[in-house]
Amino acid sequence: MFENLSERLSGVFDRLTKQGALSEDDVKTALREVRVALLEADVSLPVARDFVKAVQDKATGQAVTKSVTPGQQVVKIVHDALIDVLKGEGEPGALKIDNPPAPILMVGLQGGGKTTTTAKLAKRLKEKEGKRVLMASLDVNRPAAMEQLAILGQQIGVDTLPIVKGEDPVAITLRAKTQAGLGGYDVYMLDTAGRLSIDEELMAQVEAVRDVVNPRETLLVVDGLTGQDAVHTAENFDERIGITGVVLTRMDGDGRGGAALSMRAVTGKPIKFVGLGEKMDALETFEPERIAGRILG
Ligand code: GDP
């Protein structure tokens, strides 16, 4: 369905005579194609526009090396610029979980993959970093969601806070904190309630939970296939709750990954992990190179 960007660009450059440096016109022509490729990859229009402008300034006048065609050269410049935007500061996938027990707040809309990601991340912390993890579900309106976390916990061999009927999210949070301290856990993960869309009640609830534990990390879990919606969700959560990172789920799907670029450009928050399937092992550290390759097609 998508034409490869390199092929497209070589078409554009076929018409150009050999020259020593990329002229402004060459670059403009090529970047028109790049812009289309970004939009097809679901990068938002303002982000695509700003990105292309930055690349244009950088590429114009660059010497073309003999070993590559001007088209390949522009693709390389675009690729490097994509990585610059996608890369957050710090080690990808690293979490601040010193000073045990460290609270990690998991936030996001219903269906984004929050509960699954909570369990995947707990498994990863346990297996890769040898951490003792306690998970607690705060989704008091959806008993099935609480059960789901308990079942996943059993599957992966990670403890979950016992469910007590009638407790509110703040009470559960305080119990998780106490239990994590007494039980010698390194980390306790709070799987907050999800809603179909952002509403005041949800935000107030998450805010109250945040204030009683002062989380070391607040990770927003969003469906990477939802493009612009994912970015809006991130903006909203960041404004109200303050997030420290993003987990993009469903990156195993057909999407081209443009949401990742928009997410970074708009929120400035690091993408820490990507979800690559429903299985408990399908969580990987975010790799800018992989996403850049996918966006360019
Ligand atoms: P929550 O409502 O945000 O807690 O969402 P869930 O964790 O219940 O996930 C909703 C559905 O998405 C479940 O069927 C998950 O198995 C699925 N899911 C979560 N993450 C991924 C992912 O990275 N890839 C795929 N393909 N499915 C996922």
pLDDT, residue 66, reads: 67
List the residue whose alpha carbon is closest to atom 6 of ligand 1.
Answer: 113
- Binding site feature residues for GTP: 108-115, 191-195, 249-252
Q: How far is the CA of 43 from the centre of ligand 1 (A)?
A: 23
Residues with CB under 6 A from ligand 1: 108, 110-116, 194, 249-250, 252, 275-278, 282
Distance from residue 90's CA to the centre of ligand 1 (Å): 27
Report CA(246)–ligand 1 centroid distance (Å).
Answer: 15
Q: Tell me: the pLDDT tens digits for 33-85?
A: 889 888 888 888 999 999 999 888 888 777 777 667 777 778 888 889 999 99
ipTM of the complex: 0.99
User: What separation in Å is there between the alpha carbon of 53 and the centre of ligand 1?
Assistant: 36
- Please say if the pLDDT value at position 1 is more than 50: no
Strand runs (DSSP E) across the chain, as ranges?
102-107, 133-137, 159-160, 187-191, 217-223, 245-249, 271-275, 283-285
Name the pTM for this structure.
Answer: 0.92
The Cα–Cα gap between 46 and 52 comes to 10
Question: Closest Cα partner for 275 from 50, 121, 46?
Answer: 121
| Inter-residue contact 86 to 261 (CB < 8 Å) | yes
Rounded Cα–Cα distance for residues 5 and 134 (Å): 46
Dihedral over Cα of 230, 235, 237, 242: its sign: positive
- pLDDT, one tens digit per residue, over 203-243 is 999 999 999 999 999 999 999 988 888 999 999 999 999 99
Residue 89: its pLDDT value, please? 76
Residue nearest to atom 13 of ligand 1 (CA): 113
Report residue 214 as tokens.
């002062």
What is the CA(235)–ligand 1 centre distance, in A?
21
User: 191, 248, 274, 278: which to mutate for ligand 1, most atoms within 8 A of CB?
Assistant: 278
Across the chain, mean pLDDT equals: 89
Which pLDDT belongs to residue 16? 54
Phi and psi at residue 196, to the nearest 5°:
-70, -30
Q: Which of 114, 116, 138 to mutate to test the pocket of ligand 1 (most atoms within 8 A of CB)?
A: 116
The pLDDT tens digits of the residues spanning 152-173 come to: 999 999 999 999 999 999 999 9
